Chains A and B, each alone.
Chain A
């Protein structure tokens, strides 16, 4: 075995790539156009949509390169896998802290309701959503999706391709149903974002949660494509495991949302 023909260390020193700088520029465009939109500058909303598309495209091309390097080039040795796992875990921790801020602002307003709201929570005049109607159904849907994605994962580990595919498809379906029902909830809601701090907190929390659900759905969707395309092996399927971890995180955030905002806050 000619050891010197191969890299001496197990780490992946990434070859030069344009995607990080493209993503940076896209994010700059997104934030700038976002601010301009909020201040009602003309045409800013069009720039916002374009910037959003640019961000999604840059990230997609970047992740496509990562998939090529892992599955087709074999650069993801055990050391690299460990690093990636740590990266995903830290990212989810950062997301958790972001949601912590959202819950902080909710509890700040809700624990000591101001006199302007009638010193009560929900504020006077706000018809809060009955937590045991649609929100409870949504909770059941998300918990079921957690079950199906776990079934899919274990099927993959055991070499059961059809089980893995059924599980992932069901998960994506449940996720889409959740998103659809939340959208329905938004359309029939009696209060808006501008209806006192209750509206702000409610839509801030459920809005960003919904965005994370959509991202998680896309993540698992990519996992579905990769299972179909035979990218994953029984042992090495970090992309799927990361998406499952992200999905469980999204599920937990919903449970906390349900308990704090929907149930306790009604």
Chain B
């Protein structure tokens, strides 16, 4: 009788209070989560995520997430490299390549020159005047040291804007003189205040 009563009491007490585990999460749950594929990718495997356009910095950021087996991949699933950059740019409304011709919508002036973006140290621009094709194409040279150039025929002003890779601080200074003296152009007669700052250092 005593034993039966104590059993009943113990049973009631056990039923009333839920069993609390020793730790909030045990080791078995870790095994389950790893098996579910929730964790990190294996070394060398892509992680199946897409980097937002603004955060693309290296070629690795342009690797695609990949599609499910048994389906036909879409361009977003599978395109890589420069092709992917173009597609992602188009989705954001950004023209990644900018293949537009020289801006001939107005005549550039010293206070409002036509900006020519350049990824290199020097840039050609072929001026045909304003309105376009007013005169024969005259080729103008602009460089990072001397970004402003004027057309000898119509006087249109062009200014180079460097958008290329930043300078390597460890590289030797590049030879300004190629062994000969370059002939004077109209750019040499532009007043210093209009000459534009040399773009030798490009800040990101």
Contacts and interface: CB of A to CB of B under 8 A. Distances in A.
Interface of A: 1-10, 72-79, 156, 159-161, 164, 230, 232-236
By size class, the interface of chain B is 35 or more
A77 B75 contact: no
Interface string B77-107: 1111111111000000000110100000000
Q: State the majority secondary structure of interface residues on A.
A: loop
Nearest to A72: B80
B97 A9 contact: yes
A234 B86 contact: no
B80 A234 contact: no
A239 to B, nearest CB: 14
A235 B75 contact: yes
A234 B75 contact: yes
Nearest to B164: A4
A74 B83 contact: yes
Contacts, number: 87
A3 B162 CA distance: 12
A73 B81 contact: yes
A5 B71 contact: no
Closest 8 CB pairs between A and B?
A74-B81, A74-B80, A8-B119, A74-B83, A4-B165, A159-B72, A10-B97, A2-B57
Interface stretch (B15-23, B36-44, B48-56, B130-138): B48-56
Given A1-B53, A4-B163, A10-B97, A236 B119 contact: no
Contacts of A159: 71-72, 74
Contacts of B96: 3, 6, 10
Given A1-B57, A161-B71, A164-B72, A233 B82 contact: no
Given A77-B86, A234-B75, A2 B56 contact: yes
